[in-house]
Structure 1
């Protein structure tokens, strides 16, 4: 009986001792965690020397280590946008919006990426001569709403023409738009809407 009590006491003491001590391994792990700012700086350095995989890995690690921060997600979204991966840019910008619903850069990335994807899809439909009926009328209504919202007469600038810029300046860097391939079979889905 006394032996069982002694074993129970020893097990309890060992458990308490294990909870109270901080092993060198755990202390070392805590010391090796980088600040968000240093991780973002590492990502910038990797991007500057063309190490795209390292850039992405560092930003993913920053997002994992600092789950409440929007900065890594915004940087990933902007990079995806700059590379033309609009669907990925939207997903990552939405992650940033979960952390800050009013972030203008994330909202801009989503809006412009969505428009770029829509423009591509409409151009493909137009080339296949399948843009008609309710899809066509809905596209015309959306184009009218966009022109009114942006205060622009023309949504898609003519190929080779000057870029249309917002009066307040762009929130994000926009890659140049693709010019129409042939004026008679224009890939501009909004051409008839101007």
Structure 2
């Protein structure tokens, strides 16, 4: 006869068997990692080439979140924003590049060009509103001067006007060719063709006798 104690033991055995069976059939769930960086960059490039700019930015931002220390996705974002005329966002993305690589020339160029465009637009708006006066104008002129100095662009020097052309300081070299004087000097009068004198007409013998007769009279 089965007692209550035996029943409890049997239930315990069955529970252990069920637990062991569950452990054998259940597989642990492995967390899936982010796509490779090259894949995300390539997907963004393809979307950008197809004209889907914001979709491309989405891929690149996903790459920035997954690979925080890499500058490549930030370079893509900065270049795309600059090409779209979004200069403020281009500068922010380029600054993220410089945080990871202070010597990146592309990021520095984007910051410089985008900053100049933004400043130029702002100065144009102030000028149209007749608000470019006082300290703002003075500071702007000073910054323009510094910009020219940094670019090595100095003001052009006005050419000196001369009232008379300068005489050549080079002395003429004497030409020893004897034919040179003949080339430069006019021809002599005797070089001209001689004028032919008109010869007297010949007279007949009878006319000559008549002349002698007349002279003897």
1:110 matches 2:115: no
User: How big is the shift at 1:153?
Assistant: 5.2
* Residue aligning to 2:28: 23
Q: How many residues align?
A: 131
* Residue aligning to 1:141: 142
* Residue aligning to 2:38: 37
* Residue aligning to 2:61: 60
**RMSD over equivalenced CA pairs, Å:** 2.0
- Secondary structure in 2 matching 1:25: coil
User: How big is the shift at 1:150?
Assistant: 1.1
User: How big is the shift at 1:38?
Assistant: 1.7
User: How big is the shift at 1:135?
Assistant: 1.1
Q: Point out where structure 1 has 5 or more consecutive residues left out of the alignment.
A: 1-16, 155-194
1:119 matches 2:124: no
- Secondary structure in 1 matching 2:51: coil
Which has the bigger relative contact order, CA under 8 A and spacing at least 6?
A: 1
**Structure 1: 4+ residue segments shifted above 6 A:** none
Q: Distance in 2 between matches of 1:61 and 1:95?
A: 15
* Residue aligning to 1:88: 89
Q: Point out where structure 2 has 5 or more consecutive residues left out of the alignment.
A: 1-22, 156-217
Q: Distance in 1 between matches of 2:50 and 2:142?
A: 45
